[in-house]
């Protein structure tokens, strides 16, 4: 098979970081190539070069056998290369339809043809299985749905080479399955697809070939019949990983958080009641849109409950805002790290110590010694890859940004830790470290309540799992009752168990 796109000897440096060093990569028409590597390995950097987002320092690029240079995203699109960004890249104040056709609006006599936008957008929305009107504002959609809009937008360009940088990281199982169908249809139509994911199960299902980067260099390739979990992991990490982390349940302590009859503003017709005990790790499963994030946001006071009671350590608390929650030892690590979790223009060290650092009562100065020790401890624990702790967070790779968010909140040593998709976009080595950290915090008596769309994570880490369906708590599964089938039954509303 001759390659549709081929690059050789690609190099790219940023201040203090050699992101890519002599990398070769190719993809053919009708082929799905999975690009793998640990956080910071250089995957997104390489893809941004292919799509014209940024230029390489060195290297050659060919499309259809001809040497090309792609100097802008616009030129990339003209040559048939479209990139679905890892970090969502939508104009959130515009409608879904306006985003899909941004910069390429159909016009009649120079005037934007809104009707054509709506009609055309609807076709691509349907293709990705997203059931929203084209005139919906993007900011009113969940992240999962925003991700589907990004995908619809890329499809609308009729690209010959489609690059997907972690497209499923915030999709539910159902949405992921739909996306897989789309990918397979595109492959049959002869589109060349590059697929980046940290979910190795997806790669096994989809990829015709696997290319692995390690520290900005080619680490190896696997052809279709060589693709398996262990082979991928050992190429990525260059060392053997111990068995995939699994949680050792322990005897839960006393109730630390009790929610009785609470109603979230989004699904205010449903009452939700449950308890969290010290040292317990409780998973919260459900499809995207089931109300999991809303529930966490209500417990944390971002969207206070409409009615019902929340008590912490036996004391009823009116959680009217995050300040109240934090004062009672409840913290939330949000799903959308860019908006809620990070101060993107500040250094790694400042972000890590943001929440836990107290100012000196008298002078109002920050304690720099404390900042240094928190930063060192958390950078090491989380294995954050950065040239220095003074690096601005914006320039870290996606997975490393996620580690900074987690590190920041873990440094606070909370009583109740709410985690929304804690390992989204995190590589397999670092995932295990996050699981180990959750385990360690639970041993120290923290109650952990985590939302995850990854079945393996729910099954592997939960002492108990709550499942939601369309805003209601459709069931609670003990560790003995926990299996994929039971979770899916409850999540899709096919069954209900007594909560």
Applying CB under 5 A, the span of 58-66, 346-354, 373-381, 392-400 interacting with Mg ion comes to 392-400
| Tokens of residue 185, six digits | 């249809």
216 lies in the site for Mg ion, by CB under 5 A:
no
| Distance in angstroms between the alpha carbons of the first and the last residue of the chain | 56
Subset of residues 419 to 478 that bind ligand ATP, contact rule: CB under 6 A: 427
Query: How many Å apart are CA 152 and CA 130, to the nearest integer?
Result: 9
Question: Hunting for tokens 């400042």 — which residue is that?
Answer: 350
| Closer Cβ to Mg ion, 59 or 398, answer by number | 398
291 binds, among Mg ion, ligand ATP, none (CB under 5 to 8 A by kind): none
172 lies in the site for Mg ion, by CB under 5 A:
no
Query: How many Å apart are CA 162 and CA 282, to the nearest integer?
Result: 38
Q: How many residues bind ligand ATP (CB under 6 A)?
A: 20
Applying CB under 5 A, the span of 210-218, 224-232, 331-339, 397-405 interacting with Mg ion comes to 397-405
Residue 248 burial by CB count (10 A; 0-12/13-18/19+): exposed, middle or buried?
exposed
* Choice from 304, 398, 414, 422 touching ligand ATP (CB under 6 A): 398
| Tokens of residue 3, six digits | 């390659």
379 lies in the site for ligand ATP, by CB under 6 A:
no
Torsion of CA 99, 100, 104, 110, to 10 degrees: -70
19 lies in the site for ligand ATP, by CB under 6 A:
yes
Query: How many Å apart are CA 186 and CA 432, to the nearest integer?
Result: 34
Applying CB under 6 A, the span of 88-96, 222-230, 361-369, 390-398 interacting with ligand ATP comes to 390-398
* Choice from 395, 455, 476, 496 touching ligand ATP (CB under 6 A): 395
Query: How many Å apart are CA 466 and CA 129, to the nearest integer?
Result: 26
Question: Hunting for tokens 């299996």 — which residue is that?
Answer: 483
Contact string (CB under 6 A) for ligand ATP, positions 215-254, x = contact = ----------------------------------------
Query: How many Å apart are CA 253 and CA 238, to the nearest integer?
Result: 40
73 binds, among Mg ion, ligand ATP, none (CB under 5 to 8 A by kind): none
Query: How many Å apart are CA 125 and CA 100, to the nearest integer?
Result: 9
Query: How many Å apart are CA 426 and CA 419, to the nearest integer?
Result: 14
* Choice from 44, 168, 351, 400 touching Mg ion (CB under 5 A): 44
398 lies in the site for Mg ion, by CB under 5 A:
yes
194 lies in the site for ligand ATP, by CB under 6 A:
no
Binding site for ligand ATP (CB under 6 A): 14, 17, 19, 37, 39-45, 86, 385, 395-400, 427
């Amino acid at each position: 098979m001759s390659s549709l796109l081929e690059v050789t000897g690609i190099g790219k440096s940023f201040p203090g970081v050699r992101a890519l060093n002599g990398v070769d990569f190719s993809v053919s028409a009708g082929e799905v190539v999975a690009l793998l590597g640990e956080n910071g390995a250089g995957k997104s950097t390489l893809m941004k070069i292919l799509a014209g987002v940024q230029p390489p320092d060195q290297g050659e690029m060919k499309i259809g056998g001809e040497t090309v240079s792609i100097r802008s995203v616009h030129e990339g699109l003209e040559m048939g290369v479209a990139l679905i960004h890892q970090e969502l890249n939508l104009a959130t104040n515009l409608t879904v339809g306006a985003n899909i056709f941004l910069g390429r609006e159909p016009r009649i006599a120079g005037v934007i043809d809104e009707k054509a936008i709506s009609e055309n957008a609807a076709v691509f929305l349907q293709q990705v299985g997203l059931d929203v009107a084209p005139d919906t504002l993007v900011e009113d959609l969940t992240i999962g749905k925003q991700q589907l809009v990004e995908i619809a937008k890329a499809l609308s360009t009729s690209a010959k080479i489609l690059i997907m940088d972690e497209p499923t990281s915030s999709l539910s199982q159902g949405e992921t399955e739909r996306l897989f169908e789309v990918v397979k249809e595109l492959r049959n139509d002869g589109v060349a697809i590059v697929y980046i994911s940290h979910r190795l199960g997806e790669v096994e299902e989809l990829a015709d070939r696997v290319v692995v980067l390690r520290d900005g260099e080619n680490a190896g390739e696997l052809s279709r019949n060589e693709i398996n979990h262990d082979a991928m992991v050992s190429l990525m990490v260059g060392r053997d990983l111990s068995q995939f982390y699994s949680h050792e349940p322990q005897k839960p302590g006393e109730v630390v958080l009790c929610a009785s009859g609470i109603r979230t503003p989004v699904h205010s017709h449903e009452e939700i009641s449950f308890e969290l005990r010290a040292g317990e790790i409780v998973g919260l499963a459900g499809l995207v849109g089931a109300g999991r994030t809303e529930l966490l946001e209500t417990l944390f006071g971002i969207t206070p409950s409409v009615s019902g009671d929340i008590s912490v350590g036996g004391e009823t608390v009116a959680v009217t805002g995050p300040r109240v929650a934090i004062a009672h030892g409840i913290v939330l690590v949000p799903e959308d790290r860019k908006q809620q979790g990070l101060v993107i223009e500040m250094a790694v060290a400042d972000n890590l110590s943001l929440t836990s650092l107290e100012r000196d009562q008298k002078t109002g100065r920050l304690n720099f010694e404390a900042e240094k020790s928190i930063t060192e401890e958390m950078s090491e624990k989380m294995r954050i890859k950065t040239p220095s702790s003074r690096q601005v967070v914006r320039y870290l790779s996606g997975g490393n940004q996620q580690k900074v968010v987690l590190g920041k909140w873990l440094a606070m040593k909370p009583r109740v830790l709410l985690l929304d998709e804690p390992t989204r976009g995190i590589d397999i080595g670092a995932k295990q470290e996050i699981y180990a950290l959750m385990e360690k915090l639970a041993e120290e008596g923290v109650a952990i309540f985590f939302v995850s769309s990854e079945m393996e994570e729910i099954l592997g880490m939960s002492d108990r799992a709550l499942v939601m369906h369309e805003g209601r708590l459709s069931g609670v599964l003990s560790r003995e009752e926990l299996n994929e089938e039971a979770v899916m039954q409850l999540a899709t509303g096919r069954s209900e168990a007594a909560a």
